[in-house]
Amino acid sequence: MNHQDIVRAVERLKAGGLVAFPTETVYGLGADARSEAAVARVFAAKGRPSNNPLIVHVPGLLMAEQLGVLDDRARALTRAFWPGPLSIVVPRAAGSGLAGGVTGGVRGGGATVALRSPDHPVALALLFSFGGPLVGPSANKSGGVSPTLAAHVREAFDEREVLTLDGGACAAGIESTVVWLGEAGGRARVLRPGVIGAAALGAVLGEEVDGPGLPGGAGVGVGVGGVLLSPGLLASHYAPRARCVVVEDLAGVDDLVGMEELAGAGGLVVVLSHSLVAEDELARLDLEGVELIEMPHEAWAYAGALYARLREADARGPLAIVVHRPPSAGETAEETAVWQAIMDRLARASAAR
């Protein structure tokens, strides 16, 4: 990665092409947010449903204000968290500023736009050099596991189709928090949890912010026997190829492997566990065809490793990936937010397809 790579990437973007770039969360699939054709290319490359809007990446508040209507609350959030892993959904600006603002395709046809300034030197260099807003959905095929390494992007897209800027591993590892500031006078709501939690947003706004999760604030439910309850309520996303199941404790692996389907096939089951005693516990169960991938014990490190470990598990070609449910709360509100964002991704990875 050097200056010449940025110059080539900007040329590609100006020609309406696609450039994958690193951010602090995951790699994004960049294209000119003002170009209908470039944005259409992103949807086609990802196989993404056209009603799912894209996040627009900006270098900072100045460009954000040309694309969206930011009130005092929105500005306070940008001051506190930008550049950083927070996408703010605001009403779109009416046609002013940058050549008519972002295209309708970016917004999924809606009246709002999600804006974010990424905290990564390569992403910011690209944005400043390009001088315009870039869409940046995660650089994976729709529904798949998000990329945290340039190699992950290159597995999904041909280099002729997508020019990839290699900025090493993404630190945060899971996608940005998406917050919607609500109707006028209404409450802000987290639409997608990330490492910045509702409590942290609320502390800046001086008001309660609704968390994500199911209506009524029930959050993600884990049911009887530790197997995820009603996964059909959740759209499948962030999903590996192999079937993925979340269990409350490792004894649950016994039941799953005992299930006819897995036992008869004589295949492999990969277990992802954060437990320090996972190896001993699995040894005690004495099961055939079970391999352990150890996950970090600490929340931020777990988030950073999650997608790469899921891909590693998938690459072994297992019949199932069993994830030992991580803690639902930490010692601080910040840590709890990270565990909840992780559980959101695990719930989607294990949702029915």
Beta strands in 152-198 (DSSP E): 162-164, 177-180, 188-192
Nearer to Mg ion, 27 or 302 (CB): 27
The CA-based angle 174-44-123, given to 5 degrees, is 40
CB 237 within 8 A of CB 344: no
Nearer to ligand TXA, 56 or 269 (CB): 56
Q: Is 86 in the site for ligand TXA (CB under 6 A)?
A: no
Q: Is 115 in the site for ligand TXA (CB under 6 A)?
A: no
Q: How far is CA 137 from CA 22, 55, 141, in A?
A: 11, 6, 10
Binding footprint of ligand TXA, residue count (CB under 6 A): 26
Q: What is the DSSP letter of 247?
A: E
Token pair belonging to 259:
């299930």
Distance (Å, rounded) from C-alpha 75 to C-alpha 249? 43
Nearer to ligand TXA, 53 or 101 (CB): 53
Of these partners, ligand TXA, Mg ion, none, which one is at the site of residue 54 (CB under 5 to 8 Å by kind)? ligand TXA
Choose one: 70-78, 82-90, 148-156, 214-222; the region binding ligand TXA (CB under 6 A): 82-90
Give the shortest CB-242-to-ligand TXA separation in angstroms: 22
Q: What is the DSSP letter of 268?
A: -
Residues of this chain that bind Mg ion (CB under 5 A):
138
Give the shortest CB-137-to-Mg ion separation in angstroms: 5
Out of 9, 58, 88, 89, the residue judged to bind ligand TXA by CB under 6 A:
89
Distance (Å, rounded) from C-alpha 29 to C-alpha 138? 6
Nearer to Mg ion, 73 or 348 (CB): 348
Residues 152-211 that bind ligand TXA (CB under 6 A): 175-176, 178, 191-192
Residues 315-334 that bind ligand TXA (CB under 6 A): none
CB 161 within 8 A of CB 45: yes
| φ, ψ of residue 7 in degrees (nearest 5) | -60, -45
CB 58 within 8 A of CB 66: no
Q: Is 137 in the site for ligand TXA (CB under 6 A)?
A: yes
Using CB under 6 A as the criterion, which residues of the chain lie in contact with ligand TXA when the complex forms? Answer: 23, 25-26, 28, 52-55, 85, 87, 89, 107, 110, 112-114, 116, 118, 136-138, 175-176, 178, 191-192
